[in-house]
Structure formats: C-alpha cells, structure tokens
C-alpha cells in the first residue's frame, strides 16, 4: 500500500559507479499540483537520478519514493506514475494504435484507452500509421501517450520537448500545466532547454556534478538576483564616483565602456548623473533570467569553457534553498533551513513500471 499523496521525495540520494560519484546526497520534493523542473548540464546526474526514482538503478545510498513508497512497492506502478526517458522503443511495423493496445493490456487498461491517449497527445489522425515512419516529434508524443495509458497520478519526463516544433512545445506546455494544476497531478520535467522550462515550471531543482545547487520556488530563485541597469555615460569613472558618493555601491564598469549598477532604478541613476553634470547617452534595465542564474549555479561544471559563466553581477545573497556548498560565494551564507531533513520524513517516492521503450534507461 502507498499513501496516495502523489508526492515525490528524494532523500540523501547517492549513486557511485566505480570511482565516479554520479549523484551525491541529493534531496528534494515534488508536490502534487505543481510542475517541477529538474535542471543541470549534460553529465550532471539527472538521468541517473530519474532511473533511481523509477527503480531502474539501485542507489548506493539514500532513497527515492512516490506516494511514500519505493517503486517496487507500488503494486501496479503504471497506474500511479507514467514516465518517458526515451522514445525509441517502438516496433517500426506496428501502428500507433496497436503499440498502445499492447501496453494497455500490460497495465490492465481496456483497448479504448489507446484511442483516448492518442487524442490527448494530438495523434488521433495518425493512429493507423506505422511508428517507423514517425518524425522525432511524433515519437515523442507517442511516448507520452504510452506514459498516460494508466491515467497516472505522477508524470516523470526526460527532455519532453526534444523534437517538437514550436507549436508542439506550446501544446506540451499547456498540457502539462493543466495536468498538474487543474487535475492536481505531479509533474517532474528534466530538461536543458532553460527558456522553455522557465515558462512551464513552478519550482526548480538545479544540480551540477551530481550535487544539488538549488531547490525551491522559481520565483524565489529569480528574486535572489537583483536586476541591474547598464548605463552608457560620457565618463564612466566620473559616474562610478558620483554614484558611490551617493550611497550606490553596487557599481562596476563593463568591458564595453558601460557601467553596471545593481540595486538602483533608472530614474535614480539619471537624477544623480544630472545632479553631477554628467552626460548619459543611454540606459538599459536588465532583469534576471533563469538561464543566467542556471549558469551561475553550475559554473563549476563549465570551468574553462568560453563564455561561462555569463558576465554579470552574482546574487547579493543566496535564495532560499541555495546549496550550502556555495556559501563562500555569498557572504551571508545559505539561508536557514536549507534542505531541512524534517521535510523528508515520509521518504521519497518511486517511479512507474518500466517497459522496453517506455521510460527505459538511457
């Protein structure tokens, strides 16, 4: 038996392959009614974590549960959690409808469910086409349809927008939002397409080199980095001096001759420049985005790569959920209660029954 909560809990999860620590002490929760982004560079440990969640890989330490139970204790897991870890497990000569009917029988669903999920993912007109002739985007939709066969409470998707055109990405975004928020389901999405994930998710887990860098609401992550104003003055040095004399200390020249000012508005900067008699040729307000924050949190994995991390001032204080490994970068240190162990007392959930081509290992 399980608790029926729909909650995913990952607690102190680690996996070691020989001398390689693929995942190190990860902890996070995914609540029903929300879409959580699971982000990290290639090789960060995302797929290994999902495999442990879905019972495909045995953890070295820690646990991952769904509904308070590990995967092998969920009874009929495909009725609880659907997953897509790859989209290559289709017999090329089998039609989409027949493919789904095979899996429907395996999870105890009637044949008519195949047509229902084909309609849900927009493949109704292609029901009698052979899967071998499907495009990458169509295979992605068919994989999602397979995951939906058991009408699961939880969806776990790895790179779900891969191969989708812009219209398909918009459709998927709206579908997952409705699935989570209107139906109270749980959705965990792993992706490196940061601009797409930002428009979809409610909270985010960011990992790098197998370690949690941030876990918490997306809005709190955005607020952790102040916006800045890029000023093009006639005399950069004079402007820096004038701002500092008026208590605006988060000021730094940029390589292109502009001055970056954090913690102040365009109006305040303009007023002070006018008061000091300094000419200003332009000002541009630059707000934080998920991509910039992502690279700041994962910059260790990109060490030495051209252009990483992106230029710009770091957050002035860590956001709630900021990983303690980075506390030296932020003078205030990590926030109280980071990854509190109390919240994981129920244990992490485990994933659905995995079939070949349906959430199989990558």
> pTM for the complete prediction?
0.71
Instruction: DSSP for 34-47, please give it.
Output: EEEEEE--TTSSHH
> What is the model's pLDDT at position 36?
95
pLDDT tens profile 319-331: 445 554 443 333 3
3-state secondary structure of 344: helix
Q: How many CB atoms lie within 10 A of CB 156?
A: 28
> What is the model's pLDDT at position 238?
94
Taking CB atoms within 8 Å and a gap of at least 24, the contacts of 192-199 are 192/39, 192/40, 192/41, 192/42, 192/159, 193/159, 193/161, 194/39, 194/290, 194/291, 194/294, 195/290, 195/291, 196/161, 196/169, 197/37, 197/39, 197/290, 198/37, 198/289, 198/290, 198/291, 199/173
Q: How far apart are CA 222 and CA 296, in angstroms?
A: 12
pLDDT tens profile 77-108: 999 999 999 767 789 999 999 999 999 999 99
The half-sphere exposure of 79 on its side-chain side, counting CA atoms within 13 A, is 12
pLDDT tens profile 194-206: 777 888 899 999 9
Where do the domains of the chain lie, and which CATH numbers do they carry?
A: 8-221 (3.40.50.300), 228-286 (3.30.70.100)
In 223-244, which positions are buried (b, 16+ CB within 10 angstroms) versus exposed (e)? Answer: ebbeebbbbbbeebeebbebbe
> What is the model's pLDDT at position 289?
64
Across 87-91, 159-163, 309-313, least confident range? 309-313
> What is the model's pLDDT at position 86?
79
Q: How many CB atoms lie within 10 A of CB 310?
A: 13
Q: How far apart are CA 121 and CA 137, in angstroms?
A: 11
Q: How many CB atoms lie within 10 A of CB 181?
A: 15
Whether residue 161 is predicted with pLDDT greater than 70 in this model: the reply is yes
Percent residues over pLDDT 90 in the chain: 56
pLDDT tens profile 55-66: 999 999 999 999
The candidate with the shortest Cα–Cα distance to 118, out of 89, 92, 138, is: 138
> How far separated are the first and last CA of the chain, in Å rounded?
29
Whether residue 225 is predicted with pLDDT greater than 50 in this model: the reply is yes
Provide mean pLDDT across the span 132-156.
Answer: 94
Q: How far is CA 254 from CA 201, 257, 267, 306, 354, in A?
A: 33, 6, 20, 18, 52
For residues 174 and 166, the answer to whether their CB atoms sit within 8 Å is no
Q: How far apart are CA 29 and CA 203, in angstroms?
A: 10
pLDDT tens profile 43-54: 889 999 999 999
Whether residue 167 is predicted with pLDDT greater than 80 in this model: the reply is yes
- Higher-pLDDT residue of 114 and 295 is 114
């Amino acid at each position: 038996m399980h608790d029926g909560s729909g909650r995913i809990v990952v607690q102190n999860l680690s996996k070691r392959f020989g001398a390689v620590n693929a995942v190190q002490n990860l902890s996070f929760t995914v609540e029903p009614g929300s879409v959580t982004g699971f982000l990290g560079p290639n090789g960060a440990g995302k797929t290994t974590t999902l495999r442990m969640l879905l019972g495909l890989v045995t953890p070295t330490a820690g646990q991952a549960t769904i509904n308070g139970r590990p995967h092998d204790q969920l009874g009929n897991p495909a009725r609880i959690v659907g997953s897509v870890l790859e989209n290559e497990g289709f017999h090329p000569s089998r039609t989409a409808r027949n493919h789904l009917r095979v899996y429907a029988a395996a999870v105890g669903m009637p044949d008519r469910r195949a047509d229902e999920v084909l309609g849900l993912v927009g493949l109704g007109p292609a029901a009698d086409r052979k899967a071998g002739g499907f495009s990458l985007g169509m295979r992605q939709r068919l994989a999602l349809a397979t995951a939906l066969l058991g009408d699961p409470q939880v969806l776990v998707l790895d790179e779900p927008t891969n191969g989708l055109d812009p219209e398909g990405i918009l459709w998927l975004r709206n579908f997952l939002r409705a699935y989570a928020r209107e139906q109270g389901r749980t959705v965990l999405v792993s992706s490196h397409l940061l601009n797409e994930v930002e428009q979809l998710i409610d909270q985010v887990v960011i990992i790098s080199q197998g370690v949690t860098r941030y876990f918490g609401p997306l809005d709190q992550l955005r607020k952790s980095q102040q916006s800045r104003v890029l000023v093009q003055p006639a005399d950069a040095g004079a402007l820096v001096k004038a701002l500092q004399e008026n208590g605006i200390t988060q000021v730094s020249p940029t390589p292109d001759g502009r001055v970056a000012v954090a913690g102040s508005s365009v109006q305040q900067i303009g007023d002070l420049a006018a008061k000091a008699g300094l000419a200003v040729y332009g000002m541009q307000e630059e707000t934080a985005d998920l991509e910039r924050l992502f690279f700041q949190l994962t910059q260790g994995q990109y060490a030495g790569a051209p252009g990483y991390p992106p230029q710009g001032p770091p957050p002035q204080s860590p956001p709630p959920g900021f990983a303690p490994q980075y506390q030296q970068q932020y003078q205030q240190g990590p926030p109280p209660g980071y990854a509190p162990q109390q919240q994981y007392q129920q244990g992490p959930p485990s994933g659905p029954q995995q079939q070949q081509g349906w959430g199989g290992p990558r």
